């Protein structure tokens, strides 16, 4: 007799109440989809905020994962037993099968990748959302050359054009700094807490500034002057802080009049562009203050360019690219939910969190 499979995970219901489920319902993959036994799921602020801020509920929580393929369509490039990672679709009406904070998940084949030996499972589970967001900013919004592509003599040559990464110790920032370095961007200016400066210099920062210093804007502008720039031409807010003098405002204060400004969250200042982790399908959301749903159209070519950067990061993981710190949570589903709420409400500080499955 076949052993019964149990599914334990985290969900949000139609009343926007977050909770834990334990049942025997194993998700069913559609055509071109993989059924995966989850070994680690990666935590992101979006796991909670997409429900509370963007109207994506009811659903099961989580986007990032690492696991083993237990069912693949016939003719698939993937095989049963493959170690895979990736992320799953978002948007209003998101089916429960795509939640990654559960023992078994479904992922469209095109959103998964085979994990090589050089990429540890817990790191693989935390990689795709933040790396794809950084890649969308760098390669599609700033239009920088992909890692490893020579820029010598090309109009896209960005050597000598400063890039500012505000809050470079966010996970998006850690990805952005390493991708920018691999693309030949120089100089790279970053803001972060002073205790991160040595690490960020090692990863590729040319100049580090303390975002808590009252003179941070003047300090950045003084360095830009040495490079004959009045303001920075490429400016990336990787924090998206909502309160006080926000991170985007700080970034705008350092930028030239014709700068390309990017922030990880929607900004009232219409000069800012926003990168997205998922750009290969239309995404339908509700935005606070807007009475109707909005659909963000797919950018399929952009998605492919970001995927190329992700593939470079995967191939070079551990040598030219890494997530610096990944903590692993192991334990009760209820406690995992508390961790996600802390991450969404006030942040966990530096580094990523991978949740080990099955949850108890
Ligand atoms: N658009 C998208 O598709 C997308 C995708 C992923 C994430 N996001 C957004 O991107 C942002 C970053 O997410 P994440 O997961 O990368 O963050 P994270 O790893 O949780 O960031 C933690 C770090 O944030 C830094 N930080 C906190 N407040 C700061 C401030 N006021 N100024 C500068 N740095 C500050 C701290 O740096 P220090 O240690 O240096 O103090 C801390 O180490 C979030 O707003 C998230 O919602 C958007």
Q: Is 309 in the pocket of ligand 1 (CB under 6 A)?
A: no
List C-alpha distances in Å: 336 to 10, 54, 61, 100: 8, 22, 11, 13
How far apart CA 46 and CA 88 sit, in angstroms, is 12
φ, ψ for residue 187, nearest 5 deg: -85, 160
Is CATH 3.40.50.720 what the domain over 130-296 is classified as, yes or no?
yes
Angle of helix 121-135 versus helix 300-315 axis, rounded to 10 = 140
* Per-residue tokens: 103: 């023992």
List C-alpha distances in Å: 30 to 5, 38, 63, 92: 19, 18, 18, 19
Q: Is 177 in the pocket of ligand 1 (CB under 6 A)?
A: no
Q: Is 255 in the pocket of ligand 1 (CB under 6 A)?
A: no
How far apart CA 118 and CA 298 sit, in angstroms, is 32
Q: Is 247 in the pocket of ligand 1 (CB under 6 A)?
A: yes
Question: How much is the pLDDT for 287?
Answer: 84
> What's the gap in Å between 262 CA and the centre of ligand 1?
14
Transcribe 295-356 into DSSP letters: EEPP-HHHHHHHHHHHHHHHHTBTTTB--S-EEEE-S-HHHHHHHHHHHHHT---SSEEEEE
Q: Which residues of the chain have pLDDT under 50?
A: 153-155
Question: How much is the pLDDT for 243?
Answer: 58
Question: Could you tell me how many helices (H) and strands (E) the chain has, helices first?
Answer: 8, 18
Question: How much is the pLDDT for 151?
Answer: 56
Residues of the chain with CATH 3.40.50.720: 130-296
> What's the gap in Å between 37 CA and the centre of ligand 1?
29
Across-strand partners of 85?
Answer: 66, 113
Q: For domain 7-115+325-356, give its CATH number from 3.40.50.880, 3.90.180.10, 3.40.50.300, 3.40.718.10.
A: 3.90.180.10
Tracing tokens 């700094």 back to the chain, one arrives at: 177
Would you state the torsion angle of the CA atoms of residues 66, 70, 72, 77, taken in this order, to the nearest 10 degrees?
A: 50
Q: 324: cis peptide before it, omega within 30°?
A: no
Question: How much is the pLDDT for 159?
Answer: 67
For residue range 179-212, list pLDDT tens digits in order.
Answer: 999 999 999 999 999 999 999 999 999 999 999 9
**Nearest CA owner, ligand 1 atom 23:** 170
Question: How much is the pLDDT for 154?
Answer: 47
User: What is the β-pairing status of strands 272-273 and 255-263?
Assistant: parallel
Question: How much is the pLDDT for 268?
Answer: 87
Question: How much is the pLDDT for 244?
Answer: 58
Across-strand partners of 104?
Answer: 37
| CA angle (305 as vertex; 312, 161 as ends), nearest 5 | 85
Residues of the chain with CATH 3.90.180.10: 7-115+325-356
List C-alpha distances in Å: 313 to 118, 262, 326: 11, 21, 16
For residue range 288-324, list pLDDT tens digits in order.
Answer: 888 899 999 999 999 999 999 999 999 999 999 999 9
Question: How much is the pLDDT for 153?
Answer: 47
SS (H, E, C) 157-209: CCEEEEEEEECCCCHHHHHHHHHHHHCCCEEEEEEECHHHHHHHHHHCCCEEE
Tracing tokens 């967001």 back to the chain, one arrives at: 133
Question: How much is the pLDDT for 290?
Answer: 86
């Amino acid at each position: 007799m076949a052993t019964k499979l149990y599914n334990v995970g985290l969900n949000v219901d139609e009343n926007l109440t977050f909770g834990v489920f334990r049942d025997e319902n194993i998700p069913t993959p559609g055509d071109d989809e993989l059924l995966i036994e989850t070994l680690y799921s990666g935590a992101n602020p979006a796991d909670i905020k997409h429900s509370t801020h963007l109207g994506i509920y009811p659903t099961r929580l989580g986007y990032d994962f690492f696991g083993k393929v237990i069912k693949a369509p016939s003719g698939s490039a993937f095989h049963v037993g493959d170690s895979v990672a990736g992320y799953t679709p978002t948007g209003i009406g998101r089916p429960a099968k795509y939640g990654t904070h559960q023992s078994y998940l479904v992922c469209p084949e095109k959103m998964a990748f085979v994990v090589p030996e050089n990429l540890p499972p817990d790191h693989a589970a935390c990689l795709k959302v933040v790396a794809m967001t950084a890649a969308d900013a760098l390669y599609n919004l700033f239009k920088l050359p992909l890692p490893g592509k020579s820029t010598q003599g090309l109009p896209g040559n960005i050597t000598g054009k400063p890039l500012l990464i505000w809050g470079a110790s966010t996970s998006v920032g850690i990805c952005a700094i390493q991708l920018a370095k691999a693309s030949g961007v120089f100089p790279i200016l970053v803001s972060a807490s002073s205790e991160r400066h040595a690490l960020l210099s090692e990863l590729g920062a040319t100049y580090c500034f303390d975002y808590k210093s009252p003179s941070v804007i003047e300090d950045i502008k003084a360095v830009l002057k040495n490079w004959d720039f009045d303001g920075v031409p490429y400016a990336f807010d990787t924090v998206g802080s909502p309160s006080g003098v926000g991170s985007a405002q700080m970034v705008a204060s350092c930028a030239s009049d014709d700068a390309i400004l990017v922030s990880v969250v929607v900004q009232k200042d219409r000069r800012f562009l926003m990168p997205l982790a998922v750009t290969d399908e239309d995404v339908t959301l509700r935005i606070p203050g807007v009475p109707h749903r909005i659909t963000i159209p797919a950018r399929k070519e952009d998605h492919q360019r970001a995927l190329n950067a992700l593939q470079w990061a995967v191939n070079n993981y551990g040598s030219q690219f890494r997530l610096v710190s990944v903590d692993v949570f192991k334990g009760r589903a209820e406690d995992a939910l508390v961790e996600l709420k802390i991450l969404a409400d006030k942040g966990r500080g530096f580094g990523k969190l991978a949740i080990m499955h099955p949850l108890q």
